[in-house]
Structure 1
């Protein structure tokens, strides 16, 4: 199947779907496609159905009888039977969907499947029963049934544990946001520093450029401030209220105020469970459930400390939500007044740099080291890249380390391939390199990692002074600037 010319990237996803729906083996098969909203799942699945002559059904939030009427009409329009379909239950629907693949492999997509399962919790069990291994309707069909949904917490449970569909799926595909390098290409931004600033606000969600910003892209670095004011801080654009809608659309987030407060705590730098509890003036046990729900929804991620087993930190995974929590939520009443965007942004620019852009740049550097950097740079393939706190017994203090590039263990101590520091607005020099040398010595004395080949790495959005450049030429340090993050290998 040929990918539509107007579909940006998604080569991996298209190839996976093509293999699944074109599989000639006998017997109907089941696939699950998930991903956050606005990532282009519907566009992708509709394109697959068009290319292969399949059937696509987009569910809506409705009572079970109404959904049965909707899919009856949709299948009647698709199959054009002698008499219209009037399904009385979902068993009849699923068997009709299986009959579509009687002659050849054919994709059948049920989009927003969580809406249907919410109205009829027995639906996963009905599908499980229809896909029994020796059932005639299944063995005589080559329907490739794809269940799709945006409620990540629900979709992750669909195939886990003792769920009815566990072990039934032949495809489990997650449609993720574009990574920061692809996002820059999608937005058509060539300037690396500008690309990082835009990515810190809108991330890699395709819909935010085409639909929500109506193709409005910053016209160079000097236009960035005006672009922020006329898009995400403009109450007339969909981007303005999108962060609130993202939370409202998650079915498991019932007490929205509590979850907003948890995210607000993390956005303000309270990244540990204890820090979140203190910010909310609650006990740590009281915030365990909302943190877990936000993790399941894909809005929070727990990062284990590279050097302390009993410590982990949380970060907001959706840049737009972090921007909203840090910049917009504290001054929401002012932003709702037309014409206030420029004034509010001028007063928020410093907070954006320190609380949004700086942490985002650190995470981009970790992502780059894990996924994009040449392994030869570290003399080994990274298994994990994390941040952490290095303890200094002599001074009884902890030193924050932005990057720890850890290799796979061969039975002994895991090799620490590199340690690094990431600064968005600092021109880095010998002082930063000396600090990394000291931290490498402390890590070596602790004995947890093999530091015999540990490289030093400085990542800066502002560049490096002459002494740092000389140290890099002598092979003492790896220097990574904004252009290096976007350079193609």
Structure 2
């Protein structure tokens, strides 16, 4: 199924319809929908869609030769080298638009390392209208391909990093779920299309978790392990770091101590690599004036699937190997709603930022003080509290926010309360209070706007 990639699809079509040589690079994490997007974009056009595999270079060249022969009706044609094969396609595209998609390009280069240099030479010297698209699910590989030392550096005419779909579009994949269940599913999958497509909306979230992660042969039972093994060396150290992060060890010293490193500086390269892969992010209190120099930053798992898996699956793999899912179920019953609240807060900040047009938004923490939402728009501050629970927000919750504001030392222009279910009728609602809830049927709703002075 293909949903909500209109902007990305139009971008690709613009390059495909050009009368010039185009060299486009598309990349993104595994299962994010790159191949589906490309197939939709090239549908009805003339060209070759070739997918790399982990086989020998000669096997891949033979398979590519067959695709060239099929397209141009050259029965039994073979090529002695990749240079000959690619040059032939480039020259065939001299007078007509022909696309050439090389998907899972990292496997092609793994088998034939000369490919980037061949492409550089052809792009530089061949007069052609070819639409060359390189695609890969290996983030680390593509980052190197785009780097200064790469043979193809400076040759691309466009590129796109394909991200997961946004929360508000997840209901296209799971139309039978209400927005509360959508938030739970999104907190697990992070909007990766293939993961969303695996959910069965006729089943509860709990039953889907069992089917997708815990049961024998579950499709996502080892998904993060596969991604790490594809991208990184020394996966054991990365796994230990991710498990520590999943259980709340967020500062370098705490992480190092948890995984048995005596020097926290030794884990910095690992954290850097995880950040490059968009699995981890460094978070800094939004009020910090110089975020580059501050030491108040913490590290969190930003990829929801990894957050879920390292919190609820990885620590219990030894039980799951013997079909014992009870320890995981027990942990889910105790901690899953709190786990979802992290994503709920994040999505609330995204919604508020797009609605109110903040210059910056984030959260704040210092010692025992935590504030879920702090936004700034020009010279005005906004602070807020999020509650992912099955009880309405009360006056007590609002009073708590007032106390936090005094400890923060910033006088906000607006107080924001964000609720899963709603608000008590006796809430003392002033003009400078904004009320937002995630309605089961309608999604984000503003119950009351803030009146600013």
* TM-score, normalised by the number of residues in structure 2: 0.88
Partner of 1:394: none
| Cα distance in structure 2, aligned partners of 1:115 and 1:348 | 38
* Residues 416, 434 of structure 2: 8 Å contact kept: yes
Q: 1:57 to 1:197 in 2, by over 3 A?
A: same
* Residues 189, 195 of structure 1: 8 Å contact kept: no
Deviation at 1:59, TM superposition (A): 0.8
**2:444 is aligned with 1:464:** no
Aligned ranges 1:378-417 → 2 under 5 Å:
381-389=357-365, 397=367, 399-407=369-377, 415-417=379-381
Deviation at 1:198, TM superposition (A): 1.6
Deviation at 1:462, TM superposition (A): 4.1
* Partner SS for 1:165: coil
Q: 1:96 to 1:456 in 2, by over 3 A?
A: farther
Render the CA deviation track for 1:294-317: whole Å, top value 9, x for unaligned.
Answer: 112221122232133312222223
Aligned ranges 1:109-124 → 2 under 5 Å:
109-124=101-116
Equivalent of 2:313 in 314, 318, 328: 328
**2:333 is aligned with 1:349:** yes
Q: 1:161 to 1:406 in 2, by over 3 A?
A: farther
* Residues 39, 176 of structure 1: 8 Å contact kept: yes
| Cα distance in structure 2, aligned partners of 1:163 and 1:443 | 48
Render the CA deviation track for 1:52-86: whole Å, top value 9, x for unaligned.
Answer: 12211101123333332232222222222265022
| Cα distance in structure 2, aligned partners of 1:405 and 1:218 | 39
* Residues 27, 160 of structure 2: 8 Å contact kept: yes
Deviation at 1:443, TM superposition (A): 4.7
Q: 1:83 to 1:243 in 2, by over 3 A?
A: closer
User: What is the aligned length?
Assistant: 438
* Partner SS for 1:57: strand
| Cα distance in structure 1, aligned partners of 2:407 and 2:380 | 13
Coordinate RMSD, CA, aligned: 2.5
Deviation at 1:263, TM superposition (A): 0.7
Equivalent of 2:141 in 127, 137, 154: 154
* Residues 110, 148 of structure 1: 8 Å contact kept: yes
| Cα distance in structure 1, aligned partners of 2:152 and 2:2 | 31
Render the CA deviation track for 1:135-170: whole Å, top value 9, x for unaligned.
Answer: 2x2xx3111100000111221232233433232212
Gap runs ≥5 in structure 2: 447-453
| Cα distance in structure 1, aligned partners of 2:92 and 2:161 | 26
* Residues 49, 55 of structure 1: 8 Å contact kept: no
Partner of 2:270: 290
| Cα distance in structure 1, aligned partners of 2:360 and 2:98 | 40
* Residues 72, 87 of structure 1: 8 Å contact kept: no
| Cα distance in structure 2, aligned partners of 1:8 and 1:81 | 37
* Residues 35, 176 of structure 1: 8 Å contact kept: yes
**2:238 is aligned with 1:259:** yes
| Cα distance in structure 2, aligned partners of 1:346 and 1:389 | 30
* Partner SS for 1:231: helix
Range that drifts further, 183-192 or 12-21: 183-192
Partner of 1:304: 284
**2:73 is aligned with 1:86:** no
* Partner SS for 2:85: helix
| Cα distance in structure 2, aligned partners of 1:233 and 1:65 | 40
* Residues 213, 313 of structure 2: 8 Å contact kept: no
* Partner SS for 1:108: strand
Equivalent of 1:363 in 346, 362, 385: 346
* Partner SS for 1:482: strand
| Cα distance in structure 2, aligned partners of 1:350 and 1:10 | 37
**2:70 is aligned with 1:70:** no
Partner of 1:410: none
Equivalent of 1:337 in 322, 327, 332: 322
* Residues 185, 196 of structure 2: 8 Å contact kept: no
| Cα distance in structure 2, aligned partners of 1:52 and 1:465 | 58
* Residues 413, 432 of structure 2: 8 Å contact kept: no
| Cα distance in structure 2, aligned partners of 1:112 and 1:247 | 16
Deviation at 1:115, TM superposition (A): 1.5
| Cα distance in structure 2, aligned partners of 1:80 and 1:488 | 58
Deviation at 1:466, TM superposition (A): 2.6
* Residues 218, 227 of structure 1: 8 Å contact kept: no
Q: 1:172 to 1:370 in 2, by over 3 A?
A: farther
Deviation at 1:274, TM superposition (A): 2.6
Q: 1:455 to 1:122 in 2, by over 3 A?
A: farther
Equivalent of 1:476 in 398, 414, 432: 432
Range that drifts further, 55-64 or 231-240: 231-240
Equivalent of 1:227 in 208, 230, 234: 208
| Cα distance in structure 2, aligned partners of 1:359 and 1:163 | 39
Render the CA deviation track for 1:170-197: whole Å, top value 9, x for unaligned.
Answer: 2211221111121133111442211111
Aligned ranges 1:210-221 → 2 under 5 Å:
210=197, 213=198, 216-219=200-203
* Partner SS for 1:13: helix
* Residues 32, 173 of structure 1: 8 Å contact kept: yes
Equivalent of 1:168 in 155, 166, 188: 155
* Partner SS for 1:249: helix
* Residues 229, 342 of structure 1: 8 Å contact kept: no
Partner of 2:298: 313
Partner of 1:13: 8
Partner of 1:3: none
